[in-house]
Chain A
Amino acid sequence: MAAAPKIPVEPSYRDIDRSVLRVMEPAGLAYWAWIGFCFTLVAIAAGFWLRQIYSGLGVTGLRQPVMWAIYITNFVFWVGIAHSGTLISAILFLFRTKWRTAVYRAAETMTIFAVATAGLFPLIHLGRVWFFYWLLPYPNQRYLQPDFRSPLVWDAFAVSTYLTISALFWTMGLIPDVANAREAATGWRKKFYTALAMGWQGTDRQWRHYSMAYLLMAGLATPLVLSVHSVVSWDFAMAINPGWHSTIFAPYFVAGAIFSGVAMVITLLIPMRKLLGIEDLLTEWHFDNLAKVVLLTSLVVSYAYITEAFMTWYTGDPIEQMTFHMRYFGPWGWMYWVMVLCNCVIPLLLFSPRIRVNMRALWIITIFVNIGMWFERFVIIAGSLTANIEPSQWAGYRPSITEIMITVGSFAWFVGLFSLFAKFLPIISMTELKEGIVWLRKALKMDRVKAA
């Protein structure tokens, strides 16, 4: 793509519209090649899944007692990634945070696709996927119903509510922006955006209802986002398995989710702003603030690791202590220390204001965080199952090619969907950027002064 014209240091509403709408112009060959690559990987993963459905879970590495491994790790990882979107779009909206306007649409989009990816894993993990609806209560002649005391049932409700509410909240924010795109577009795109905008015109009557509903939906989404990862953590904490059965799990998982989610936002935004030529709208100021959130949550997560170790020592439970001994120094001990390095040590670099605005350094740090957080989930989930209560049951686990390819496919699915969105719908909210134009102007001035 040609270099983007710089927007003036005092941008007008029109400059914002032009910069955002320019991204949505028809894409080149490289873009379609990239989309093709992503969805080829998805197709390969789908093939492996079909093979697994046909021949059963025996094609995976899942053996007693390690029946939850990479699939469930991926589920928790992707639900975690989803959390930053709602944090940025709803919680920071309620706090009236100024820097959220430019990044919230991308973060929220990431949320939708991350939940859509996460939602696949419990299904992939099912031996007989065609019976997935057994999780839901429905009338049947045997009077057989799900047990609402099971956290797995809570999870089905929490994750599907999360997906629905995030999608509605996101669609609502998109409507005025798509109406803007409708005015600028031609050909089939005009028809497409006209249908999506549903006749939005921005009258006082429409804005009055919109503003109120947006505020209330942010209010509903805020406790929801905290509840969803708490419920996910209870999938583990409610079981009496050593390494899982702990009261700190809910806040520990929520902090970890925000940590990994914001890191993923940065990982996606840094190449995206360059490739789509929107460096003027996503300034150093935005990244500086995102990096601070990563740093804060990294410290919370580190604190949780220490608390977890302390609680294990303090309770004096020998079985719990053995599980943790195996976690730190057992055959998979290296994974734990990779996780500590990526989640607790490397993010400390973000204390330096220079590193927080150095895009290359920030990108590499956030990739380490993503790797670390994936390992964290794997260590907790599969690691705790390898060294269970009875030493006679201890066993290892080795992922099969099916699990690895489906995991790779899930990343391709997520990135592919995100790339499609970024080109066809406004990846930055024009409406909100205009509302907070004063802050964008300030950020641009800071950037230009620095550059000079």
Chain B
Amino acid sequence: MSTIAIISSFADETQCVQAVEELRAAQVGDFNTFSPIPSHKIEHAIGRSKSPVRWLVLAGGISGVLTGLAITIGTTYEWRLNAGGRPLLSWPPFIVICFELMVLLGGIFGFFGVLMLSGVPTTTMAPGYDGRFGEDRFGIVVRCDEAEAARVESMLKESGAEEVVREDEAQPR
């Protein structure tokens, strides 16, 4: 049995959410959505865990603090500047450097983490992508067995899809 892709578009976020919920309940195939805005409702309906990018930001932040400590302590020991016999390491100013590097590396890890996890840069578009999905339409692409296609199509239509097409029928726009 071959797998096919069914592409549907919705004018309304709520209808898209409803379709996602029904697809999840019916457990047919796997699917992904396209939306013009970061929709928390869709994210909630799909029910994936929180993005792991937060761990990357944390790792970046920690490595920033460690880098800050390494360069401040390291360079102080390399160039021992005796300021009136006071302790060699001046912790309060080091905090400033550690803080700045924490933010710097945390941000850089976060930015490149998003790119890596979301698969950009890329030159290939996901099957079913349509320019309208960036403008004002919400899309769901379901990949399922051919035998289940009719059921999926009727589910999408019942949820209020404006258009439901199979991948082989979809015309490039």
Contacts and interface: CB of A to CB of B under 8 A. Distances in A.
A165 B103 contact: yes
B136 A14 contact: yes
A161 B68 CA distance: 13
At the interface, is chain B mostly helix, strand, loop or mixed? helix
Given A202-B36, A203-B34, A431-B38, A161 B104 contact: yes
Contacts of A149: 83, 90, 93
Interface residues of A, number: 56
A213 B135 contact: no
B150 interface: no
Interface string B91-135: 001101101110110111011011101111111111001010111
A449 interface: no
A154 B93 contact: yes
A179 B114 contact: no
Nearest to A208: B51
Given A172-B114, A199-B123, A213-B110, A220 B97 contact: no
A183 B134 contact: yes
A209 B114 contact: yes
B114 A213 contact: yes
Contact of B107 (A204, A207, A220): A220
B85 to A, nearest CB: 15
A180 interface: yes
Interface stretch (A123-131, A223-231, A273-281): A223-231
A199 B107 CA distance: 22
B79 A145 contact: yes
A429 to B, nearest CB: 11
B164 interface: no
Interface in A182-239: 183, 198-214, 216-217, 220-221, 223-224, 227, 231
Contacts of A204: 32-35, 42-43, 46, 48
Contact of B134 (A137, A179, A212): A179
A210 B108 contact: no
Contact of B103 (A146, A153, A220): A220
B120 A207 contact: no
A169 B101 CA distance: 16
A161 B51 contact: no
A157 interface: yes
Contacts of A221: 103, 107
B171 interface: no
B72 interface: yes
At the interface, is chain A mostly helix, strand, loop or mixed? helix
Interface in A141-178: 143-149, 153-154, 157-158, 161, 164-165, 168-169, 171-172, 175-176
B79 A144 contact: yes
Contacts of B83: 149
Contact of A201 (B117, B126, B135): B126
Given A199-B123, A201-B126, A202-B34, A217 B107 contact: yes
B161 interface: no
A204 B129 CA distance: 12
A199 B90 contact: no
A149 B90 CA distance: 7
B75 A137 contact: yes
A154 B96 contact: yes
Nearest to B112: A168
Contacts of B131: 183
A211 B103 contact: no
Please indicate which of the listed interface residues B96, B120, B134 has the most CB atoms of chain A within 10 Å of its own CB.
B134
A17 interface: yes
A105 interface: no
Contacts of A202: 34-36, 133-134
A332 B36 CA distance: 56
B39 interface: yes
A89 to B, nearest CB: 13
A434 interface: yes
Nearest to B86: A149
A148 B94 CA distance: 7
Nearest to A194: B123
B147 interface: no
A203 B33 contact: yes
A12 interface: yes
B96 A157 contact: yes
A154 B100 CA distance: 9
Contact of A158 (B61, B78, B100, B108): B100
Contact of B111 (A161, A172, A203): A172
Contact of B36 (A153, A231, A431): A431
B101 A161 contact: yes
A206 B120 contact: yes
B37 interface: yes
A231 B92 CA distance: 13
27 contacts: A17-B135, A143-B78, A145-B76, A148-B90, A148-B97, A149-B93, A154-B97, A157-B97, A157-B100, A164-B104, A165-B107, A183-B135, A198-B121, A198-B122, A199-B125, A202-B133, A204-B32, A205-B119, A207-B39, A207-B42, A212-B54, A213-B57, A216-B54, A217-B57, A220-B103, A223-B99, A227-B96
Given A148-B90, A227-B96, 14 more contacts: A17-B136, A145-B79, A148-B97, A149-B83, A157-B96, A161-B101, A200-B118, A202-B36, A203-B33, A205-B117, A207-B35, A210-B114, A216-B53, A216-B110
